[in-house]
């Protein structure tokens, strides 16, 4: 007999399978000798009150007293061996162009193969190992490579990230399918269980390579260092793409999964008069505290270092009908330069699987509405992107035309004075003391100040001189939407063109972009089969 239970256990009761079995037996009243198998299905930290505990969901395989020889095989074991078999040989199958090898493009490609279609992946950046060398070069030379950086290249913006795998929206599709594919390609089984699952940059790099092996072994194709610069269209029907080398690649379906930083694609649509919409997004700074301080606040001063992961937080406040919130919090992480071209100052956060840096960083961002971009209305649907672009430029200029990042102690920001000296930071390109109040648009700095007051009340010790604000956090989600038909998922004017993932404005994050890729591939397969 299989039964599921939800209960709270102490961190020390979760470190060892035997101890956990005893605890579960005691709490559920099920005799320990009748528990044949204990399967941990979900866990999340409950730090709201002392003592801190884990909320867990377990599945017990229980031997019934009158049927002691019953052999119970868990669902997981039954499905394990069948997973890779789902992928078909597509060497000679119908080609579908996939532009962009980020989570949306890669998960779409895997689904296409499952459905018997051949993905032709076109990626402006390089394979992950070469891309790593380019990001190291960016730090050494303080110069952005516009084709190979933290956003562009194999795996997209998701490769050198924190690899958090949760999404706020469960309605978009099957999250478990995404997690299963990650596990099939080398992620730890733990991601299926942990409510706040994360993989880390080190894990993601090898998973991305394993996904490439699956795609290529099945007959899919990759074209690296190949940028799409135009589309082939006949009577509003897509016929293929044109690359920067002038090559034409033909297919009657194109998945456009170029991410939120491919501004050239938005300009291309704009120049062609193809439908685009301005989209609200969020912008602000990244805040960095010592991780130890965040642990003390969140774990109520008790040292849980051997039992619990580095603590995270999630904060939100509403001020005058405008949201201010933490975004992409990275415990034990580091801050990286995330610009995609020179003349831009953009930061973001990443971590390794162990999350063992001494710093905790998080975006602290304010919602940006269409009316905030009045100054740029002449750019139509690109007005929000223009505001984003100009703020990045201003931040770059404030750093002396460099990707050394403008920074300010949090307490100095609240007092509106430039910091004399800064706290230690993980940001590898260096910091320059600045006054964010003078660089950020006023509606952002004033809302941030109100937000920090509230966050200081919610987390005692958060509002401290030990924290630096580092700018600019601007690539939170796409400032543009490429509209698509809600049933066919094709662009509303160009049939066969499928705007997909974060760049199209239909996802935000690794998991939701992957789900969007899967959904689009399924739509294409439906159309090809019927």
Ligand X SMILES: Cc1cc2nc3c(=O)[nH]c(=O)nc-3n(C[C@H](O)[C@H](O)[C@H](O)COP(=O)(O)OP(=O)(O)OC[C@H]3O[C@@H](n4cnc5c(N)ncnc54)[C@H](O)[C@@H]3O)c2cc1C
Residues forming the site for ligand X (CB under 6 A):
99-105, 122-125, 150-153, 156-158, 160-164, 227-228, 257-259, 262, 265, 328, 336, 338, 348-350, 501-503, 507-511, 513
Residues 6+ apart with CB under 8 A from 141: none
Closer residue to ligand X (CB): 441 or 517? 517
Nearer to ligand X, 152 or 462 (CB): 152
- Using the minimum distance from each CB to ligand X, give the nearer residue, 259 or 406: 259
Residue nearer to ligand X on the CB measure, 103 or 441: 103
Cβ within 8 Å of residue 218, ≥6 positions away: 87, 88, 89, 90, 91, 113
> Which two structure tokens, joined as six digits, stand for 241?
């793409």
Count the helix, strand and coil residues of the chain and give each as a percent rounded to the nearest 5: 35, 25, 40
Structure tokens at 154: 């194999």
Least distance in angstroms from the C-beta of 503 to ligand X: 5
Task: For 331-354, give one letter per residue: b (16+ CB within 10 A) or e.
Answer: bbbbbbbbbbbeebbbbbbbbbbe
Provide the minimum distance between the beta carbon of 163 and ligand X in the complex, in angstroms, as a whole number: 5
Smallest separation, CB 146 to ligand X (Å) = 10
CB of 488 to ligand X, least distance (A): 19
Q: How far is the CB of 506 from ligand X (least distance, A)?
A: 9
State how far the alpha carbon of 306 is from the alpha carbons of 238, 303, 347, 500, in Å: 56, 8, 31, 42
In angstroms, how far is CA 358 from the centroid of its own chain?
A: 22
What 8-state DSSP symbol labels residue 118?
Answer: E
Pairing type for strands 281-290 and 359-368 reads antiparallel
C-alpha Rg value of the chain to the nearest Å: 24
CB of 502 to ligand X, least distance (A): 4
State the CB neighbour count (10 A cutoff) for residue 525.
18
Residues in Cβ contact with 106 at an 8 Å cutoff, skipping those fewer than 6 apart:
121, 155, 156, 208, 211, 215, 514, 517
Count CB-CB contacts under 10 A for residue 356.
Answer: 13
Which three-class secondary structure string do you get for 396-417? HHHCCCCCCEEEEEHHHHHHCC
- Cβ distance to ligand X smaller for residue 201 or 214: 201
Q: Which of 201, 419 has the CB closer to ligand X?
A: 201
Residue pair 117/87 in contact (Cβ under 8 Å)? The answer is no
For residues 127 and 496, which CB has a smaller minimum distance to ligand X in the complex? 127
- Compute the least distance from the CB of residue 517 to ligand X, in Å: 7
Residue 228 CB, nearest approach to ligand X (Å): 4
CA distance 355 to 201: 10
Instruction: State in Å, rounded, how far the first CA of the chain is from the last one.
Output: 42
Pairing of strands 53-62, 35-46: antiparallel
CB of 46 to ligand X, least distance (A): 22
The answer to whether 347 and 303 are in contact (CB under 8 A) is: no
Q: How far is the CB of 475 from ligand X (least distance, A)?
A: 6
287/338 with CB nearer ligand X: 338
> Residue 372 or residue 502: which is nearer to ligand X going by CB?
502
Residue 258 or 362: the one with the smaller Cβ distance to ligand X is 258
**CB nearer to ligand X: pick between 56 and 350:** 350
Listed in sequence order, the residues at least 6 apart from 480 whose beta carbon sits closer than 8 Å to its beta carbon are: 266, 276, 277, 278, 279, 381, 382, 384, 385, 505
Provide the minimum distance between the beta carbon of 348 and ligand X in the complex, in angstroms, as a whole number.
4
């Amino acid at each position: 007999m299989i039964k599921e239970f939800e209960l709270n256990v102490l961190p020390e009761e979760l470190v060892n399978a035997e101890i956990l079995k005893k605890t579960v037996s005691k709490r559920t009243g099920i005799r320990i000798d009748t528990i044949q198998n204990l399967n941990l299905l979900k866990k999340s930290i409950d730090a709201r009150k002392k003592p801190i505990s884990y909320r867990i969901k377990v599945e017990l395989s229980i031997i019934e007293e009158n049927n002691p020889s019953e052999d119970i095989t868990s669902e997981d074991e039954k499905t394990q061996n069948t997973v890779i078999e789902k992928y078909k040989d597509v060497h000679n199958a119908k080609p579908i162009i996939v532009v962009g090898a980020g989570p949306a493009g890669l998960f779409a490609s895997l689904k296409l193969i499952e459905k018997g279609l051949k993905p032709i992946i076109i990626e402006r950046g390089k394979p992950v190992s070469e891309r790593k060398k380019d990001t190291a070069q960016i730090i050494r030379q303080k110069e952005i490579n516009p084709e190979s950086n933290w956003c562009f290249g194999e795996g997209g913006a998701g490769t050198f990230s924190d690899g958090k795998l949760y999404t706020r929206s469960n309605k978009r599709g099957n999250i478990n399918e995404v997690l299963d594919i990650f596990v099939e390609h080398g992620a730890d089984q733990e991601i299926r269980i942990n409510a706040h699952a994360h993989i880390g940059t080190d894990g993601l790099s090898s998973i991305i390579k394993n996904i490439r092996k699956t795609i290529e072994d099945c007959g899919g194709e990759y074209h690296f260092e190949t940028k799409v610069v135009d589309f082939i269209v006949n009577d509003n029907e897509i016929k293929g793409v044109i690359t920067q080398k002038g090559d034409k690649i033909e297919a009657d379906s194109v998945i456009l999964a170029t991410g939120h930083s491919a501004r050239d694609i938005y300009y291309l649509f704009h120049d062609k008069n193809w439908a685009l919409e301005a989209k609200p997004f969020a912008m602000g700074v990244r805040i960095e505290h010592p991780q130890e301080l965040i642990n003390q606040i969140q774990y109520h001063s008790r040292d849980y270092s051997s039992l619990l992961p580095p603590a995270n937080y999630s904060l939100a406040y509403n001020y005058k009908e405008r949201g201010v919130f933490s975004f992409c919090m990275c415990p034990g992480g580091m801050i990286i330069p995330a610009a995609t071209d020179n003349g831009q100052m953009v930061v973001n956060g990443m971590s390794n699987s162990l999350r063992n840096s001494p710093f905790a960083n998080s975006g602290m961002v304010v919602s940006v509405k269409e009316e905030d971009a009045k100054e740029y209305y002449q750019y139509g649907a690109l007005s929000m992107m223009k505001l984003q672009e100009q703020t990045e430029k201003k931040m770059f200029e404030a750093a002396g035309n460099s990707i050394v990042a403008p920074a300010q102690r949090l307490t100095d920001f609240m007092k509106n004075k430039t910091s004399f000296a800064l706290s230690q930071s993980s940001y590898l390109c260096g910091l320059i003391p600045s006054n964010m109040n003078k660089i950020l648009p006023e509606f952002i700095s004033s809302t941030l100040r109100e937000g920090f007051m509230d966050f200081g009340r919610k987390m005692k010790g958060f509002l401290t001189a030990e924290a630096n604000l580092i700018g600019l956090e601007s690539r939170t989600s796409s400032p543009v939407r490429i509209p698509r038909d809600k049933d066919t998922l094709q662009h509303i004017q160009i049939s066969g063109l499928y705007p997909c993932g974060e760049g199209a404005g239909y996802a935000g994050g690794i998991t939701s972009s992957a789900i969007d890729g899967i959904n689009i591939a399924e739509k294409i397969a439906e159309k090809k089969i019927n």
